[in-house]
Chains A and B, each alone.
Chain A
Amino acid sequence: MSSVAGGMAYFIPAAQTALEATGQVIHVTPSPSMLFSPTPSATSPVSTVTGAFTVLLLGSDDDSKFSSDHVLTQSMILIRVIPSTKDVTMLSIPRDLYAHLSTGGYGKIDGAYSYGGPGAAIATVEQDFGVHIDDYIWVGLLGLVKLIDAIGGIDVVTSNPVIDDFYPADIYGGWPYDYERVAVLAGPQHLDGIHAMQYVRSRHGDLQSDFGRSQRQQHVLMAIRQKAKQMTPEDLPAMSAAIGRELKTSIGLPKVAQLLPLAASFDNPDQIRQIVLLPPYTHGGGPDGSITPDWNRILPLVHQYFP
């Protein structure tokens, strides 16, 4: 009995974080138009393939520039998983995409979370892209750094030198509007949390700006998945202590337990499809520096992979 108690004590931090971070209730914010033309809601799962599910991954800059839970989502990745065929599709949604927000009006899609939390972000993506989202995962920037450090860093093939003379120094610096120089060199390398974040976050030196950044974010996601395969359940307390309150998800604990072995079984990178909405799916010149979507091209593409 005392051994069991010792074991329970070991996993208490992980259990505490898991209980706090998982099973978040989604308060979906429907837009006025959704009231008249309802799309599938988060409470009525629709999947044409048995067992398939779709998750919206959100990443936010949550430094002191923003008040808690009113942050922009710098990263929005729609992920569809088909466990039976082990197919994964990742669709990066440009943060500056000019879209109809579920909270009303039009604006950059990264503002949806800021106005209405994860429910508004989910509702916006569901109504604009015509997809059903089962769950969401939100990670703060510092959480990403700590998560990568907690798993011992990741191996990434960086596609090109990422040089930025105006990179935001808002994570550890005293002044959140300050900036610094970063240089992430090209090629295969082992990145710690800070350098991985620099790689995925920098956009000044990339002609494709947010699109290039989306591709890099997908590289890092796959590297985290690869590294996570080496972890054991005994690593959970250290990982949960590192992440702290930088992670929230609507996925409940029982489903997390189901997904962990599933994630480890995806070992064929060719079955992970990566989609970035480059031109002609989008083009620049929208209001306030936003990106204008070509829905006539986007929707058929999305419906092909997110039926």
Chain B
Amino acid sequence: MMISRFVLAVVLAVVMFVCGTSAYLYLGSKQSKAAVPAQKPTAATPRAQALSLPGTIYLAQSGALYSLSAGRFHQLTPEAGWTMPALYPDGSKLVAVKATRSYSDVYVLNRFGTVQRQVTNNAARPRFDISDNHWSFYPRLSADGGTLWMAYDQPKYGYDAIFSIWSMPFGGTLRQGRLWTNANDYTGGDMQPVPVPGGLIYTKYDYGPDIKLVGQLWFTNRAGSAGKALTSPAEDCHSPALSPDGTQLAMICTYEKQISYLTIATWNGSSLGGRKTVVSNLLVAQPTWAPDGSGIAFLAPAVGAGEFQLWWLPKAAYMPPPPSPPPPPTPGGPHNGPLASPSPPPPVPPVKPVQVTTNNGFDATSPLAWLG
């Protein structure tokens, strides 16, 4: 009898321990996924992605550069401040930024992520003031590969640290560089240079009529001239991306709010045509045209809020196929019977953006580079 009571007590104790622990673990498992750290893109491979995009896309996450090709990610660099990849015009190499806590520099890497050379040298010499360091961001090469464009925080005056657009011979040094734009004081400055035939499109930050800081796209064709505004302050646009055929510009417009619209407009070489918003329900960043013109890739959180994922917008979403021509008249002379009532064309399902990745956390301030 005593033994059976003892056994019962032990069993009860075990059951209580198991139930208590299970309840604790169960509640822990019910935590939301909101705070779960982003997965490394390579953790998804070799699982094939649901959607395979053409060519190779280069993008950044947690200070490392990755390539996405045939549905698989490859890590190109260690997590060491790498961001903003851009391609050589012939696609043979990359330029990218490596940022530390105090400065950033432009480097040349091969397509497998091996550093070939350092292009800028923005670290202040020892014992110099910390403000003698410099930032270089958004490097882009000219079509002939001879000129490097970037946003660079020079000149700056005391507390007024702003970016301006600079160009430099790609084989030379920054001392041979030219200041292209005059940024407005205490605004953040001029960013995101995109060389286009006949000039340069860039984002200028300035105070709008309501004294809020806004982004505006500008076009200039000579050094020292701000050029002309392509968008209004109220549109609050940035992140320009020229289509492969050079006839359309994709951009992000935020209308001074915590929203983000993917907008496209026609481009005639000096001005923009009518705007068309093609994505308005996501926090869109970094639109990038597919080299074959089949669509636009961009970054946005999956639902509501969260880390930024890779998305794909097929061309049919913003350039629907033209309506099919009316059927040819039936041969055989005048129609004698009752006229068939015209039937409406079958409804075309709207083409929506496709989410390519699910658990990553791509750097939404880093433009994508896409090799065809």
**Chain A residues close to B by CB (< 8 Å):** 1-7, 9-11, 149-157, 159-166, 179-181, 183, 185-190, 204-208, 212, 215, 219, 222-223, 226-227, 229-232, 234-235, 238, 269, 278
Contacts and interface: CB of A to CB of B under 8 A. Distances in A.
B307 A153 contact: yes
Nearest to A185: B365
Given A2-B17, A9-B24, A179-B130, A161 B31 contact: no
Contacts of B23: 2-7, 10
B32 A2 contact: no
In the A-B complex, the 10 residue pairs with the smallest Cβ-Cβ separation, listed nearest first, are A6-B23, A161-B188, A6-B20, A152-B35, A207-B186, A2-B16, A160-B188, A165-B131, A160-B213, A3-B23
A248 B311 CA distance: 41
B160 interface: yes
Nearest to B203: A186
Interface stretch (B106-114, B256-264, B289-297, B334-342): B256-264
Contact of B258 (A156, A160, A190, A234): A156
Given A6-B24, A152-B34, A189-B363, 6 more contacts: A5-B23, A152-B306, A157-B254, A163-B161, A163-B163, A207-B186
Interface residues of B, number: 72
Interface string B7-31: 0000000011101111110011011
A212 B210 CA distance: 12
B31 A152 contact: no
Interface in B149-167: 153, 156, 159-163
A234 B30 contact: yes
Nearest to A267: B304
A204 to B, nearest CB: 4
Nearest to B159: A204
Contacts of A234: 27-28, 30-32
B258 A230 contact: no
Interface of B: 15-17, 19-24, 27-28, 30-32, 34-37, 101-104, 130-131, 133, 135, 137, 153, 156, 159-163, 185-189, 191, 203, 205, 207, 211-215, 236, 238-239, 252, 254, 256-260, 283-285, 300-301, 304-308, 361, 363-365
A296 B327 CA distance: 73
A190 B306 contact: yes
B86 to A, nearest CB: 15
Contacts of B27: 6-7, 10-11, 234
Nearest to B258: A157
Given A165-B159, A188-B283, A223 B137 contact: no
Tell me the interface secondary structure of chain A in the complex: mixed
A166 B19 CA distance: 55
Contacts of B162: 163, 205
Contact of B131 (A166, A226, A230): A166
Contact of B257 (A6, A180, A269): A269
A157 to B, nearest CB: 5
A223 B285 contact: no
Given A187-B365, A189-B365, A205-B188, A157 B259 contact: yes
A163 B260 CA distance: 22
A187 B252 contact: yes
A2 B101 CA distance: 50
A205 B365 contact: no
Contacts of A219: 258
B22 A160 contact: no
Given A9-B24, A160-B205, A2 B301 contact: no
Given A6-B23, A9-B20, A187-B239, A165 B212 contact: no
Contacts of B137: 183, 185
Nearest to B300: A188
Contacts of A7: 23-24, 27
Given A186-B238, A234-B27, A206 B285 contact: no
A230 B32 contact: yes
A10 B188 contact: no
B34 A235 contact: yes
